[in-house]
Amino acid sequence: MTANQLPGPDELTERERKTVEALVFGLADDEFVLAERYTEWQVRAPTLESDLALSNIAQDELGHARLWYDLLEEFGYTESELLFERDPAEFTHAAFVELPFEEGDWADAVLRGYLYDTAEQLRLGALEDASYPRITDRIGKITEEESYHREHAQNWLERLCDDPEGRENVQAATDRLFPHALALFEPVDPDREAAIQELGLRSEPLADLREQWCAITVPFLDSLGVRAPVSEDGTLPELPDDHGRSSAHTGHWPALHEELTRTYRELDRTDTPTITSDPDHAQ
Amino acid sequence: MTLTYTGCPARKMLLSDVQSAVSGVDGVEECDVRLVWSPEWSIEFITDDGANALEAFGVSVP
């Protein structure tokens, strides 16, 4: 715990609230959109076990998205405002999580999971001592549910790379996804990012987390005979133009957003029903 | 209260059941159910009564 703890959601200053929001929207949107993409693999993964594993991972990420969106609801947003009525351009996820899977490209799915979950582990670790207790409250639970995601992805990458054709597929996915994955370490807004540091919300700057992420992922891929697009002197590839976060999303996002809000619109919902008042309120 | 799993699909139902059960107790005028994620749920949290009830339902607790 840091010395300068922020108060509960109702007592934050406007600036503090906006800063917490910037951080939490990024976390929540990444989880939510990735989960939506993962569900496309349901009943289509190569084995029954991997089918179940990916469905479970998708459900975990949805659960984690919910824990983050809950914090935003404490600021007065409704579920509809956060998800179904929000302008798709306002979503702050990295475009990395919205990219479509080519049909049958299982190497893409496992590599994406590996790159994402390694980033998430670092990102959550840097929030363990966050100055906002509502964030630290949930880190342990989320982290506990994450470890098998990495185990699953690493295990599959090793199996795929045992075979020359599989390794080629992993290499192709690495060439395509690695530059996009760097956007996971991009701020939603540079000023808010400075405030995230200043208010003690995240213990490490995003650039340091990105460096740690590279120090894990690049040698691991290398051990499988797969080369990440990082030069000998450690220079990273350029971020794609439309990488999400503060920049534009790719052309794949409007269609995905359309899909994930379709049922809501078809049922002509204007608001999600509340059965009981939300008990997950501030302490 | 807490849930065993963040992605629990029965979240609303469980919360609502706890709310009703507690509200229905004689002498309880108001009930405010709070969902927390820390401490994290673990299997040690299952009481003997809970373990028996689960077993009767067909789920064995190690």
How do residues A23-74 score in pLDDT, each as one tens digit? Answer: 999 999 999 999 999 999 988 999 999 999 999 999 999 999 999 999 999 9
Closest residue of A to B19, CA-based?
A: A276
Residue to test with chain B: of A67, A143, A280, most B Cβ within 10 A: A280
- Closest-CA distance, A279 to chain B, in angstroms, reads 5
Inter-chain residue contact A279 with B33, CB threshold 8 Å: yes
- Among B5, B36, B41, beta carbon nearest to A63: B5
Cβ-Cβ contacts under 8 Å for A84 (sequence gap 6 or more):
A261, A264, A265, A269, A272
* CATH number of the domain bearing residue A44: 1.20.1260.10
pLDDT (0 to 100) of residue A246: 85
Asked whether the beta carbons of residue A279 and residue B35 sit closer than 8 angstroms, the reply is yes
Three-state DSSP class for residue A41: helix
Q: Per the domain annotation, does A59 fall within a domain?
A: yes
What are the chain A neighbours of B38 within 8 Å (beta carbons)?
Answer: 136-138, 140-141
**How many beta-carbon contacts under 8 Å exist across A and B?**
52
**For residue A1, pLDDT beyond 60:** no
Chain B interface, Cβ < 8 Å to A: 5-9, 12, 15-16, 19, 32-41
**Residue span of the structural domain in which A262 resides:** 14-226+236-266
Q: Looking at the predicted structure, is the pLDDT value of residue A276 above 90?
A: no
Write down the pLDDT at residue A275: 62
Segment B2-20 shows an average pLDDT of 95
A282: pLDDT strictly greater than 60: no
How much is the mean pLDDT over chain A? 93
Residue closest to A238 by CA, chosen among A99, A124, A215, A247:
A247
Residue (of A104, A103, A99) closest to A178 by Cα position: A99
pLDDT band for A283, please (50, 70, 90 cuts). very low
User: Is residue A276 domain-resident?
Assistant: no
- Cross-chain Cβ contact B33/A66 below 8 Å: no
As a whole number of angstroms, the distance between CA A119 and CA B33 comes to 34
Asked if B36 lies within 8 A of A66 by C-beta distance, the reply is no
**In this structure, what DSSP letter does residue A232 have?**
T
Better-predicted residue by pLDDT, A279 or A141: A141
For A144, which residue in chain B has the nearest alpha carbon?
B40
Cis peptide bond prior to B39, omega within 30° of 0: yes
Let me know if residue A6 belongs to a domain: no
Quick: pLDDT tens for A95-143: 999 999 998 999 999 999 999 999 999 999 999 999 999 999 999 999 9
How many CB atoms are located within 10 Å of the residue B5 CB?
Answer: 15
Chain B residue with minimum CA distance to A133 = B38
Give me the pLDDT at residue A2, please. Answer: 47
What's the number of domains chain A is made of? 1
- All residues of chain B having their beta carbon less than 8 Å from the beta carbon of residue A140 are 37-40
Would residue A135 count as lying in a domain?
A: yes
> Which CA distances in Å does A44 have to A47, A61, A188, A275?
8, 19, 34, 35
Residue A282 located in a structural domain = no
Is A113 inside any structural domain? yes
Q: pLDDT digits over A221-257, tens only?
A: 999 999 999 998 989 999 999 999 988 999 999 999 9
Instruction: Determine the distance in angstroms separating the CA of B2 from the nearest CA of chain A, rounded to an integer.
Output: 10
For B36, name the nearest residue in chain A, comparing CA atoms only: A280
Q: Is residue A208 part of a domain?
A: yes
**Could you tell me the two tokens for A279?**
């008990």
Interface test with chain A among B1, B6, B22, by most A beta carbons within 10 Å: B6
Per-residue pLDDT, A268: 77
The candidate with the shortest Cα–Cα distance to A171, out of A184, A160, A180, A183, is A160
Contact A206, A185 (CB under 8 A): yes
pLDDT, tens digit, 9 for 90 and up, residues B16-48: 999 999 999 999 999 999 999 999 999 999 999
A189: left (phi over 0), alpha (psi -120 to 50) or beta: beta
- Exposed / middle / buried, residue A78 (Cβ in 10 Å: 0-12, 13-18, 19+): middle
Identify whether A186 is part of a domain. yes
Tokens 């820390």 belong to which residue?
B38
Task: Identify all chain A residues contacting B37, using CB atoms and an 8 Å cutoff.
Answer: 67, 137-138, 140-141
Is pLDDT above 90 for A16?
Answer: yes
